[in-house]
Chain A
Amino acid sequence: MSDERQTARGLTALDGAISLIAILLIVQMWLLTATLEAFLAGYYETATPGAILSGVLFAASFGLYRFIDRIDRSARRGPP
């Protein structure tokens, strides 16, 4: 496979991962506003599941970032 084609495939993988992170981030933004709205209205029981779910979404985003980093590393710096 030519270098150019490999680069294009790597970029496609990065774009896919970034798109997934963006979707997770939108869900997380909605979650934060919904939890805050409920909290300000005096409904405190949503705070714990909201924080847990937000943590899971952050962990997933971080995992995808590690994936991006790994692809970037293998493309630019050679294998680890």
Chain B
Amino acid sequence: MKLWRDEFSIEAAHERYVARRQFGKFLVLTSFGMFVGNLWILVKSYLRKDEVFPRTLVARASDVAKGGVKLFTYPGPHDPCILFHTHSDRYVAYSQKCTHLSCAVIPAADGKRIECPCHHGFFSIDDGRVLQGPPPRPLPRILLEQRGDELWAFGVDLGNNPATDSGVRG
């Protein structure tokens, strides 16, 4: 049977069948588009290159008092981060973008947590894990090392491995 006979109903009573079949075809083509999108993500994830992080001086340890914070950017100039000198005398740093909707996180009033003021998400100051609220993932941790009085950043840990200790003792 010719294509035009498939796509156009000759009898008026069949028009509803054609309309439904064509709508079904549209939905299935959209479904195919979604599948292609997922395949594209899969290919991109296989072809990705491991990011090389620079070593960057973040701060002088003596400049950040216990309980204090310092803002910096890492690894690029548009990646805001926050350095904490915790009450347990450790230096830890995290990306300042909340993993929920990228609001800037700040130290909570109790000094033991990190707070996202937009939707009241809370993260642990020790390892960046989510304690409360809508954030779906931990805060990316900035890997630090101490050289004398200087604190240097040398990488970013997305929080996949909770055993990693990214902070340095004060």
Contacts and interface: CB of A to CB of B under 8 A. Distances in A.
B9 to A, nearest CB: 7
B38 A72 contact: no
B28 A21 contact: yes
Contacts of B158: 41-43
Q: Which secondary structure characterizes the binding site on chain A?
A: helix
B99 A41 contact: yes
Interface in B32-68: 32, 34-35, 37-39, 41-42, 44-46, 48
A58 B25 contact: no
Chain A contact patch, size range = 35 or more
Contacts of B39: 51, 54
A29 to B, nearest CB: 6
B27 interface: yes
Interface residues of B, number: 35
Contacts of A31: 34, 38
B24 interface: yes
Given A11-B17, A41-B158, A21 B27 contact: yes
Nearest to B31: A61
Given A21-B27, A43-B158, A68-B20, A77 B1 contact: yes
B16 interface: yes
A37 B167 CA distance: 27
Nearest to B137: A41
Contacts of B137: 41, 43
Interface of A: 7, 10-11, 14-15, 17-18, 21-22, 24-25, 28-29, 31-32, 35-36, 39, 41-44, 47-48, 50-51, 54-55, 57-58, 61-62, 64-65, 68-69, 71-72, 75-77
